[in-house]
Amino acid sequence: MSLFKRLLKNKSKSEVKQNDTDHSKYYPEEKLPIDEKFTYNFNKNGGKFLYCENWDEVNEAFDNILLENDWYEKEVFCFDEQLISKFNGYNLSFGTKGDSQFFLTRCESLVANNGSILLCSNQIKEKKLHELPFNMVIFATTSQLVENISEGLRIIKSKSKKHIPTNITTIQDFECGKEKDFMSYGSSTKNLYLLLLEDL
């Protein structure tokens, strides 16, 4: 059963109560599955999460994002030719201008332990995060979930034996006005939508 079906399935009150009394406070915390951990941390960071079981649902979710933000017939910042062809039927103008309404891209990995999105020059070329539009729509699949950044970096390295991509970065801050700690100093806040397609 996929993560999102488990999340949407309601537990009965007696089941929840029984789980609370089964363990003492000294019992080690139950380790969450990677997909649940990512979902929890990503939402905590302020990201907007849209789970899709197939391409019809991806198209419907993308259409809803455009409708919600009034992004029809607007300029879209996108380097990815495959995404441009997939989302070409929405009256959008694709280009690489900095004043675009939103940035449409894929990512390298979805990092569960901090709810961040790992990107590199394959997606953003040599642009810095602050040079990209404030609004972002990222397309990813459930097979891209990794436990931590190290695992994501290993995947990048194994996929790119001849030429390791440069400009590797993560986006983790999706809420404006949120108080930043030392670890997030200098990071760019983005209004981010994640279109996540089930492929496992």
| pLDDT one-digit tens code per residue, 134-190 | 999 999 999 999 999 999 999 999 988 788 898 999 999 887 655 555 444 445 789
Residue 12 lies inside a defined structural domain of this protein: no
* Block residue for tokens 């990071």: 187
Residue 21 lies inside a defined structural domain of this protein: no
Q: Are 90 and 71 in contact (CB under 8 A)?
A: no
> What proportion of the chain, given as a percentage, has pLDDT over 70?
80
Q: Classify burial at 192, counting beta carbons within 10 Å of its beta carbon; exposed 0-12, middle 13-18, buried 19 or more.
A: buried
> What proportion of the chain, given as a percentage, has pLDDT over 90?
64
Residue 30 lies inside a defined structural domain of this protein: no
Backbone phi and psi for residue 49, each to the nearest 5 degrees, phi listed first: -115, 125
pLDDT tens for 29-40 read 677 889 999 999
Residue 4 lies inside a defined structural domain of this protein: no
- Confidence (pTM): 0.79
Residue 74 lies inside a defined structural domain of this protein: yes
Could you list the residue range(s) of the whole structural domain that residue 191 is in? 35-197
pLDDT tens for 103-131 read 999 999 999 999 999 999 999 999 999 99
Mean pLDDT of 6-14: 52
Residue 81 lies inside a defined structural domain of this protein: yes
Residue 26 lies inside a defined structural domain of this protein: no
